[in-house]
């Protein structure tokens, strides 16, 4: 297989147990090259455990994780592959007495990047919006600025894969917007981004594919178009008598809501005219029909409620 055909991240029946506790139970997923992949789930679902296994920070009980063609079970190959991975943990802290440039210099040395590093450091600082604060000490940085610095560290050396754990958790709306732009720029240059986040609205705006994990098992994965229902419409109409609702139900449409505003479920886009005709024939006056797209948060909560 060519390098481009190998998935940057793939897990095969990945399992991790801590004594009697099963953190991951046969996790299987595939992250495509050059995509932004959202990894979602409630607290305790196994997200952090999966990240630790991908990065070699923990060993699987069974199964395997493959990063840039190197399985975790092959320690030597996986260690070499990890040099091509950038990582931003959820909780991190840099020495306050160092400047932003010095922090990046230390990490460049730890990553054994070829010197000189100055141009690369200035480039990533500019990318995350800290170009004018390069010489300032980290102790004077806000939480948002420290989060940007962490992003810069993860981007050092132009890694092929960047793993981000809650990268927007400490940012204001402007900062979150900037991070989304950074993620899009990484995707445009062919970098694969693995995004662990609980901010579903952020994920919905930037991710190509998502996986939802619960109790150590993936319960749904795919593109947003594949996961989110789009078979409902919002209707504004008058004269919605019981006879009108009965006629809609007879035609296979379930109506929710009271008054003049309601939602019809099970409506394929091609059947919208059939719905409108049924309502009008039964005596309703239809003013508007608007297709609805299920949000990622709605789908997330629906999947979890079905399992609990």
DSSP characters over the chain: --GGGS-SEEEEEEEEEETTEEEEEEEEEEE-TT-EEEEE--TTSSHHHHHHHHTTSS--SEEEEEETTEETTSHHHHHHHHTTEEEE-SS----TTSBHHHHHHHHHHHTTPPSP-HHHHHHHHHHTT-GGGTTSBGGG--HHHHHHHHHHHHHTT--SEEEEESTTTT--HHHHHHHHHHHHHHHHTT-EEEEE-S-HHHHHHH-SEEEEEETTEEEEEEEHHHHS---EEEEEEE---HHHHHHHHHTT-EEE-STTEEEEES--GGGHHHHHHHHHHTT-EEEEEEEE---HHHHHHHHHHHH-
pLDDT at 3: 47
Write the secondary structure of 132-160 as one string of H (helix), E (strand) and C (coil).
HHCCCEHHHCCHHHHHHHHHHHHHCCCCC
Tell me the C-alpha to C-alpha distance, in Å, between residue 3 and each of 185, 187, 248.
22, 17, 54
CA dist 148 and 218 (Å) reads 30
Residue 290 has a pLDDT of: 86
Q: How many CB atoms lie within 10 A of CB 20?
A: 5
Delineate the domains of the chain, giving CATH numbers in brackets: 3-224 (3.40.50.300), 230-292 (3.30.70)
Query: What integer pLDDT is reported at residue 191 of this predicted model?
Result: 95
State the Cα–Cα distance between residues 163 and 117, nearest whole angstrom.
Answer: 22
Q: What is this structure's pTM?
A: 0.81
- Within a 10 A sphere around the Cβ of 41, how many other Cβ atoms? 24
pLDDT score of 198: 78
pLDDT along the chain (308 residues), means of 10: 71 94 93 95 89 94 95 93 93 93 95 90 93 95 89 94 85 83 90 90 89 91 82 86 85 80 80 88 90 80 78
Task: Name beta bridge partners: 302.
Answer: none
């Amino acid at each position: 297989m060519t390098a481009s055909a190998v998935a940057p991240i793939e897990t095969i029946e990945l399992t991790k147990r801590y004594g009697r506790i099963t953190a991951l139970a046969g996790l299987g997923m595939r992250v495509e090259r050059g995509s932004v992949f959202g990894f979602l789930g409630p607290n305790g679902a196994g997200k952090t455990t999966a990240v630790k296994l991908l990065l070699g920070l923990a060993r699987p009980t069974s199964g395997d994780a493959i990063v840039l063609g190197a399985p975790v079970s092959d320690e030597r190959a996986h260690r070499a592959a990890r040099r091509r991975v950038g990582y931003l943990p959820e909780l991190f802290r840099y020495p306050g007495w160092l400047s932003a440039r010095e922090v990046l210099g230390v990490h460049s040395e730890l990553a054994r990047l070829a010197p000189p590093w100055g141009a690369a450091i200035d480039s990533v600082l500019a990318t995350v919006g800290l170009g004018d604060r390069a010489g300032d000490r980290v102790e004077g940085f806000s939480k948002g600025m420290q989060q940007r610095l962490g992003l810069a560290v993860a981007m050092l050396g132009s890694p092929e894969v960047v793993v981000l754990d809650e990268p927007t958790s400490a940012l204001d709306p402007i900062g979150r917007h900037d991070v989304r732009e950074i993620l899009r720029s990484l995707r445009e240059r062919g970098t694969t981004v693995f995004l662990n986040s609980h901010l579903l609205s952020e994920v919905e705006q930037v991710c190509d594919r998502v996986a939802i994990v619960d109790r150590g098992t993936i319960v749904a994965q795919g593109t947003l178009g594949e996961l989110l229902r789009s078979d409902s419409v919002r209707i504004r109409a008058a004269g919605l008598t019981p006879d009108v609702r009965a006629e809609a139900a007879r035609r296979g449409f379930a109506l929710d809501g009271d008054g003049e505003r309601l939602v019809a479920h099970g409506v394929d886009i091609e059947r919208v005219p059939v719905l409108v005709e049924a309502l009008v024939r039964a005596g309703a006056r239809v003013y508007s029909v608007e297709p609805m797209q299920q949000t990622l948060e709605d789908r997330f909560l629906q999947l979890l409620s079905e399992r609990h």
